[in-house]
Structure 1
Amino acid sequence: MKLSFLDPLYARPGPWASAYLDTSRDIEDPDKAIELRWRHLRESLSAQGADNATIAALHAAVGSDRDVSGRHGQALFAAHGRLALAEELPEPPAADSARVTSLPDVLPLVLQHAPDIPYVAVALSRVFAETDLQEDVAVHFQAGRWPMSRVAPEPSLSHVGAARDWPQNAFAVAHEVENLRQWSDAETIVVRSGEGDVWLRGVLVNHLPKSTQQRVVTVPDRGRPMAETGRAMLEAELSEILWGTVNERDRTLMHRYLAQRARHPDTSEGMAAVLTALQRGQAHALLLNRPVELPETLWTGPEPTHITLAEPDLHDLGVDFGQQEPAGAALVRALMGTGAELIVVPREELPLEGGVGALLRYHIPYA
């Protein structure tokens, strides 16, 4: 997974105020609940030394996702009186939190972006025109990146035409779906239709290029809403299909990592090996197990490659004075600063020593 969505957080220095809060709207009087949650976080930020202007910048963004229905959350980041990033979270945080640190506390947000799978969702249905009662075919389709698009969906497209003309209309619809697939670089195309309506989806799928047909997953229409307010189309079906998976690029990098680990286990796995690779700018990607089990803090210096387990180790990197930062924040800064990627992999699929591994750009033995 590439981390370019974090660029706004590394364009200016800290200190950073980072806040994660539950902004779900599936409860009675959600606005009051959100106000109470934010009040506690605001008091915590003030106690940690956040300035009033920075707190005000966060305050203006709290609850701005009110158009998103159901369970969800927000991640907010501000520094020096300016909001730098506000993102909706497909899952509310396990606990509301707010921190003032030199580095933005981004790991919880990054984990919600994974596995970052591009897809296209297509919903087919039969409807009756109100004027002449003729049967129509309605098609709705939407691109997204799973799971973040659950609460930040792209605009949807639609087509309605007479059922008798579907064999001809399906060609134009398939062309639009294929254009959307190419634009989004979708790996999966999920097509929903009535349980017994094989004909509708069959005609559409047959008009898609052969290479795209291989990416199609068909699901029956079980009467679920096509989309809740402010949420992705076919969210429930997408969750069933994509839960626990890894995107194609990350899968390719994982295969490369396994081959590397077989040859060079000592420089591929564990926190010591990962930190060495990051210090050298040698890491192509960091592999991180979920659930995450990192040290609470790491020591950092002025540069992204200044990252160690203990303060004395910074001196070996030419750093006279360092500071402790949340381990996740320090690791992500090192990835951003060296152009490395992140692969979040379920522990049961690929257990890693210390929960971390490094795919190397090149290999050299330890000095």
Structure 2
Amino acid sequence: MRLTFLEPLYGQPGPFASVYVDTSQNDAQTDPDAVLALRWRRLRDTLVAEGADEDSISAVAASLGHDADVPGTHGQALFTAHGALALQGELPDPPARDTAHFGALPDTMPLIAQHAPEIPYLAGYVHYAGRHSLDAGGTVHVEAEAGRWPLTKVTPGERLDERVPVAEWPHAAERLGRWLAGRADRMGAEVLVLAGDTWARGILARRLPARLRGRVTAVDAGGAPRPGRALLEAAVERLFRGRPAAHDEALVGAFLAQRARRGAAAEGLAETVAALQRGQVGALLLTDRRRSAPPPLWVGPEPAHLALTEGELRSYGVGGVRPERADAALARALVGTGAELVLVSGRRLRLRDGVGALLRYADFPRAVAA
């Protein structure tokens, strides 16, 4: 997963206020605004206790709940720097608990985790309105969306909405097939999820360009599309649950191959941090089976200024060093050095300290003394 969406945030100096809050719009809530106000009072107290300035607190308050038009369960991630909103992110799922933090580095790892696995896909829903397939007065209604899962749940992708007279549907299906193939090529879509009327959907599937036809998966729509949410959300959720992105799988495969030959791979916190210091990491791999939170890392002013100990960092001539949470330090280093991140199940991959790296280049082998 590429973290370019965080570059505007890390392009600013700290300190930062980082807030994660459940902003769900549930039918059971009689007054969602009052619920959110109560959540905010608790978060505000935390920011005040951690030394946040009033301007930063006000900037969070001014942006809180701006996603009220998104139905269902979801959340917000808000980041401020020097009294101004620096980044706002939608959370496809509400956070496990509301949190607030004020410090030198933003707390971005929970937002990053909610972007994963970031699977590029297309979804199409084909409705047919008519008594039978030869009904001249019938119409075919096509809805399509190009997005990245799971973010599409709360941030809709590029949409298409078109109604076609049934007599024109075979010709229109060929045109729409080219549109879908073009979007698939542009975004590297892994799959085209199709649902709806069997007859009309079948015509579209048969008229897709060959390069896309093999990526079609037919599903049960499970009801009409829900406004403001991802097209075919429930069906896509079932299809992608527990599934990694193909790009991430390729990175894991490359890491395993390099580790087996003792090549361009690092494993364990110490080796990985050393590689990040050199800007050597192409992709960082993190598993969900770390036995405990890693110890704090020492950081300096630049993204690659990180080390396991204060003494190590000072030995490089870095000043202004301080301890920071490991995940915050690693996230800044990844964005600053242009490295990717792969979140992988511990059942799929075992890593020392739960961390490893696919390197951009291998270290030169050391000469063995005679």
TM-score, shorter chain, exceeding 0.5: yes
Residue of structure 1 equivalent to 2:72: 70
CA distance in 1, matches of 2:337, 2:162: 45
Matches within 5 A, 1:1-367: 1-26=1-26, 27-28=28-29, 29-128=31-130, 134-194=137-197, 197=198, 199-222=199-222, 224-227=223-226, 229-264=227-262, 268-290=266-288, 294-364=293-363
Distance 1:56 1:38, change over 3 A: same
State the Cα distance separating 1:182 from its structure 2 match: 3.0
Letter in 1 for 2:114: Q
CA distance in 2, matches of 1:339, 1:273: 18
Letter in 1 for 2:323: Q
Aligned to 1:268, the other structure's residue is in SS state strand
Residues 102-155 of structure 1 show CA distances to partners (whole Å, capped at 9, x for unaligned) of 1111000001111111111100111249xx993221110011111111101125
Asked if 1 retains the 8 angstrom alpha-carbon contact of 2:122 and 2:184, the reply is yes
Aligned to 1:221, the other structure's residue is in SS state coil
State the Cα distance separating 1:346 from its structure 2 match: 1.4
Aligned to 1:7, the other structure's residue is in SS state helix
Asked if 1 retains the 8 angstrom alpha-carbon contact of 2:269 and 2:356, the reply is yes
Aligned to 1:324, the other structure's residue is in SS state strand
- How many aligned positions are there? 360
State the Cα distance separating 1:202 from its structure 2 match: 2.3
Letter in 1 for 2:352: E
CA distance in 2, matches of 1:366, 1:31: 61
State the Cα distance separating 1:46 from its structure 2 match: 1.4
Asked if 2 retains the 8 angstrom alpha-carbon contact of 1:89 and 1:112, the reply is yes
CA distance in 2, matches of 1:231, 1:296: 39
CA distance in 2, matches of 1:155, 1:267: 37
Question: Which segment drifts farther, 139-148 or 284-293?
Answer: 284-293
Asked if 2 retains the 8 angstrom alpha-carbon contact of 1:308 and 1:314, the reply is yes
TM-score w.r.t. length of structure 1: 0.92
CA distance in 2, matches of 1:120, 1:287: 27
CA distance in 2, matches of 1:340, 1:115: 16
Asked if 2 retains the 8 angstrom alpha-carbon contact of 1:294 and 1:355, the reply is no
State the Cα distance separating 1:242 from its structure 2 match: 1.4
State the Cα distance separating 1:275 from its structure 2 match: 0.6
Question: Which segment drifts farther, 22-31 or 9-18?
Answer: 22-31
Residues 20-65 of structure 1 show CA distances to partners (whole Å, capped at 9, x for unaligned) of 0111111412111111111111111112111111111111110000
Distance 1:22 1:296, change over 3 A: farther
CA distance in 2, matches of 1:75, 1:104: 11
Letter in 1 for 2:54: N
Letter in 2 for 1:354: D
Distance 1:172 1:48, change over 3 A: same
CA distance in 2, matches of 1:285, 1:177: 30
Distance 1:291 1:166, change over 3 A: farther
Mark the runs of 5 or more structure 2 residues left unpaired by the alignment: none
CA distance in 1, matches of 2:174, 2:12: 49
Asked if 1 retains the 8 angstrom alpha-carbon contact of 2:255 and 2:265, the reply is no
CA distance in 1, matches of 2:113, 2:307: 22
CA distance in 2, matches of 1:121, 1:266: 38
Asked if 2 retains the 8 angstrom alpha-carbon contact of 1:260 and 1:268, the reply is no
Percent identical:
45
State the Cα distance separating 1:175 from its structure 2 match: 2.1
Asked if 1 retains the 8 angstrom alpha-carbon contact of 2:298 and 2:324, the reply is yes
CA distance in 1, matches of 2:150, 2:358: 24
Letter in 1 for 2:229: R
Aligned to 1:337, the other structure's residue is in SS state helix
Asked if 2 retains the 8 angstrom alpha-carbon contact of 1:269 and 1:356, the reply is yes
Question: Which segment drifts farther, 297-306 or 287-296?
Answer: 287-296
Asked if 1 retains the 8 angstrom alpha-carbon contact of 2:74 and 2:90, the reply is yes
Aligned to 2:43, the other structure's residue is in SS state helix
Asked if 2 retains the 8 angstrom alpha-carbon contact of 1:244 and 1:346, the reply is no
